[in-house]
Every structure is written in structure tokens, then in C-alpha cells.
Copies of this chain bind each other. A is one copy, B any other.
């Protein structure tokens, strides 16, 4: 145990996801020893982030305004909404430059184990957005795991009666991967989703 505030810093750092006790200690001493004001800068950003960051009132993405950059961007295609679990997923899809429509961030996925049901997700807000006749397609881009699949199934059932086109991201072999290292489920999906090329 260290004295007072050093131990407090190690404890607080150790509560962060993916930071174990050894890393926490290493980061704490790094911050103690750096000459510049890195600790103060981090402290300041941490204060600001909770004050300034909110969630877009339309799509639920993180933003510092009432609406996020993407919802405010008039060049985006307003006929398609891509539904994701988290803001991180928005960033991941934006990096592909494949999609120029709008997003809807659910804030998680259905998970009975963690006590997250449809009511804890921003599904009601999604339904409200779909009242706009401009929207022609909903792309469901939840994670390809148990919770994500359950959420996708639930959404498909809810949205089907609306008569809008609904699609899911393709599952299959990761590009650059090795076929022999793919798990059976992924390989199975790759077979299922095979495409005619001639």
C-alpha cells in the first residue's frame, strides 16, 4: 500500500476497464514523474467530458450539441438508418466510408443476464423516427454475438409491419483471414451467404 493519494490514484485507475493493478501502478508513477502537465490535462478533460458531452436527441450518438454532426449534416442520405449498439460502432462504420445515411444508437443490446430488455434500449425512439415516410431502409448492424443477434431478431419483428426494407450486415470470413482458422459458425455463415460469381 502506498501513502494516501498515490494509492487512491492507483485504485481509481484500477477501476477502469482493462487496467489491472500492475498497469494502474505503472500509469500512476508515469503521471507522477512526467515533467509536463499531463495529469492536469487529463483531469481537466475528464471534468469537461462529463459536463459537455451529451447524447444526440435524434440518434443517441455522443455529441456536444443538441444534435450530432451526422444528424446535422445535410449531405447525408436521409432515407437510410443504420442501427448500432454503441457510438463506437458509428465510428467503426464511418471509417469504412461505405455508408452515407443516418444512424441510430441503441445504447446496448438485449441481454437477459445483464437485465437489459428492449425497454432499456432506444427502440421507442427508433420507432418514432420511422414514422417519417422519408425513410426507406433500416440496416441492422448489431454485434454478431448472442446479444446482438437477439436484438436484431427483436428489431426485425418490430419493424416488419412497417413495410420498410430491413437488412442485416453480412456475416462471413474476415478479409485477410485464413479459412482454416475460422470458427465453425463463421464458416457456416460464409457458406450460407455465398454469392454466385459467374
User: Which residue in chain B gives the minimum CB-CB distance to A32?
Assistant: B53
Q: How many residues of A contact B (CB 8 A)?
A: 49
Complex alpha-carbon distance, A17 and B64, angstroms:
28
Tallying the copies of this chain within the complex gives 2
Tell me whether A29 and B63 are in contact (CB under 8 A): no
Q: Which of A84-92, A129-137, A142-150 contacts B (4 or more CB under 8 A)?
A: A84-92
Query: A6 CA to B4 CA in the complex, in Å?
Result: 30
> Min CB distance, A171 to chain B, in Å?
22
A47 to B46, CA, bound (A): 11
List 17 extra interface pairs beyond A3-B68, A25-B91, A29-B88, CB under 8 A. A1-B91, A2-B62, A3-B69, A5-B52, A5-B64, A6-B62, A16-B27, A16-B31, A17-B26, A18-B23, A31-B46, A31-B49, A32-B53, A32-B62, A43-B43, A43-B47, A46-B46
